[in-house]
Amino acid sequence: MTATILDGKAVHATIQDELRTRVEALARRGVVPGLATVLVGEDPASRWYVGAKHKDCAAIGVTSVRRELPAGSGLADVLATVDELNADPAVTAFLVQQPTGLDEFAILSRVDPAKDVDGLHPQNLGALVLGEPAPLPCTPVGCVELLRRYDVPIAGAEVVVVGRGLTVGRPLGLILTRRSENATVTLCHTGTRDLAAHTRRADIVISAAGVPDMITPDMVKPGAAVMDVGVARREGRIAGDVHPDVAEVAGWLTPNPGGVGPMTRAMLLSNVVEAAERTLDAA
Ligand SMILES: Nc1nc2c(c(=O)[nH]1)N[C@@H](CN(C=O)c1ccc(C(=O)N[C@@H](CCC(=O)O)C(=O)O)cc1)CN2
């Protein structure tokens, strides 16, 4: 079997077109959404991600502001920048690009929850736990949206998530078990005993462990959907969690790059536009 490719790049372009229309509608009502990013240090991957987010904004008429802090900046410097962005009326929503090497909980907690485009403020994650509306973390909701756009059945599916990190695995379990998604989720990690026994039962495997080629063809049920969220690097190139030969077994497969990464950016744009729409609803 050769898997159907879950083309995140193509869906990203479609979502940009959909959002452009909503941005135009906001502009007619006098609102221009604005995203700010905060980048600390010189990590090349983080710099690329931030650059791509600004390019995406420009493509749909969202203004954006870049704040860059030198390597070696302290927590106080980042928090002062967060305070400025919280107070800036031109900034609808913003994020601090992770990792910063600093206390992420302190940084996330300082962001105004109404401007939290990452959906990672404790109040917004708490809303997700409670089933209340709030911005959702971009990578996990991007995985779900990509499955939806390809009509991969989610309701009633057995999903195995590999990785328990804050930005992907943990919120993904919460999103997929909401009534609207209705999946059954097993949250595994690199310490899980007999990981293959779990993945082989899964209709959907989503791997965000950062261990290159960890998901091999023998670990996948024929016809299952497999999503690769791994962003380890080998000689400068992305080395995903999913071995390329999985394409011969899976029913659906995300390329990496070109799968979940562009969906993360699409959901970020969507969160910015929704934040701007909320400001109008509140007015
Ligand atoms: N504040 C945040 N920091 C980080 C997040 C996040 O959601 N919020 N997630 C990741 C990085 N990330 C977004 O910031 C991100 C990852 C990947 C991509 C992407 O488009 N990747 C491309 C390939 C890029 C390459 O070749 O290096 C793809 O997959 O096709 C966008 C954003 C950690 N930090």
The predicted-structure confidence for 35-92, as pLDDT tens digits, reads as follows 999 999 999 999 999 999 999 999 999 999 999 999 999 999 999 999 999 999 999 9
Catalytic sites, residue numbers: 53, 97, 118
Which of 264, 267, 269 is the pocket-test mutation for ligand 1 (most atoms within 8 Å of CB)? 264
Residue 242 confidence class, pLDDT cut points 50, 70, 90: very high
Of 123, 83, 133, the residue nearest 107 (C-alpha): 83
pLDDT at 109: 98
pLDDT at 281: 80
Judge if 29-116 and 138-262 fold alike in CATH terms: yes
Q: Round to the nearest angstrom and report the end-to-end CA distance of the chain.
A: 54
* pLDDT for 283 beyond 80: no
Annotated binding-site positions for NADP(+): 163-165, 231
CATH no. of 29-116: 3.40.50.10860
Count CA within 13 A, CB hemisphere, residue 3.
Answer: 27
Mean pLDDT in the chain?
97
Backbone angles phi, psi at 226, to 5 degrees: -125, 125
| CA of 262 relative to ligand 1 center, distance in Å | 8
CB of 81 shorter than 6 A to ligand 1? no
* pLDDT for 168 beyond 80: yes
CATH no. of 138-262: 3.40.50.720
* pLDDT for 211 beyond 70: yes
Percent of the chain with pLDDT over 70: 100
The closest-lying atom of ligand 1 relative to the alpha carbon of residue 260 is 29
Q: Is 32 left (phi over 0), alpha (psi -120 to 50) or beta?
A: beta
Residue range 191-215: mean pLDDT, rounded: 97
Q: Identify the residue whose C-alpha is closest to ligand 1 atom 23.
A: 257
Residue range 31-38: mean pLDDT, rounded: 98
CB of 102 shorter than 6 A to ligand 1? no
pLDDT at 206: 98
pLDDT tens across 117-142, in order? Answer: 999 999 999 999 999 999 999 999 99
Q: What is the CA angle 209-49-162, rounded to 5?
A: 15
Distance between CA 106 and CA 121 in Å, rounded?
10
Domain ranges of the chain: 29-116, 138-262
pLDDT at 97: 98
pLDDT at 122: 98
Please name the amino acid found at residue 223: G
| CA of 275 relative to ligand 1 center, distance in Å | 21
pLDDT at 137: 98
pLDDT at 1: 61
